[in-house]
C-alpha cells in the first residue's frame, strides 16, 4: 500500500502530537494555524465509510482531547473540525484524517464554504435520509 500517512507511522517521520496503537496525531506540513493537528486512526482506514465504529469513536475521542488541549495550552477560542471522505469530497489522502484547527477571534481566515452546492436530488432529500436512517 502506498499511503503517505501509513509511511509516516511506519518510518516514525512525522512531528507527533501523540502516537497510539489505535489513534495518532501529528502536525501537517502546511498548517492553517499554529497548532493545526491531524488526528488519524493508526491502522489504515481509507475514509469514514471504511472505518469500524469503535475505531471511529476512539478517533473522535482523541479529536475532542486535542481540541480541549488547544484551548488550554494555546489559548484558542475554538476549533474547526474538518474532514473529507471519499473521492467526491476532495479527500486529499486516502487515509481517514480529521483536521483540528485552533481558532482565535480575528485570526484572518474562514473555513465555512463560501458557496452552495449545485447538486440537485429528486424529491425531498431530508425525508429520504430520515427513511434510510430509520431502516438501519
Q: Which residues are catalytic?
A: 97
- Across the beta sheet with 16-18, the strand order is 16-18, 23-26, 37-41, 98-103, 78-82
| Cβ atoms 9, 21 nearer than 8 A | no
The whole-angstrom separation of Cα 82 and Cα 75 is 20
Q: Strands 78-82, 37-41: parallel, antiparallel or unpaired by DSSP? A: unpaired
Amino acid at each position: 500500500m502506498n499511503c503517505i500517512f501509513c509511511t509516516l507511522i511506519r518510518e516514525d517521520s512525522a512531528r507527533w502530537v501523540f502516537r497510539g496503537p489505535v489513534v495518532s496525531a501529528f502536525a501537517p506540513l502546511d498548517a492553517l494555524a499554529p497548532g493545526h493537528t491531524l488526528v488519524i486512526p493508526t491502522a489504515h482506514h481509507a475514509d469514514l465509510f471504511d472505518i469500524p465504529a469503535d475505531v471511529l469513536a476512539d478517533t473522535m475521542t482523541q479529536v475532542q482531547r486535542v481540541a480541549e488541549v488547544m484551548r488550554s495550552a494555546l489559548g484558542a477560542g475554538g476549533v474547526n473540525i474538518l474532514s473529507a471522505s471519499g473521492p467526491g469530497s476532495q479527500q486529499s489522502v486516502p487515509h481517514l484524517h480529521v483536521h483540528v484547527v485552533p481558532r482565535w477571534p480575528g485570526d484572518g481566515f474562514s473555513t465555512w464554504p463560501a458557496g452552495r452546492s449545485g447538486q440537485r436530488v429528486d424529491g425531498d432529500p431530508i425525508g429520504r435520509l430520515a427513511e434510510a436512517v430509520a431502516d438501519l
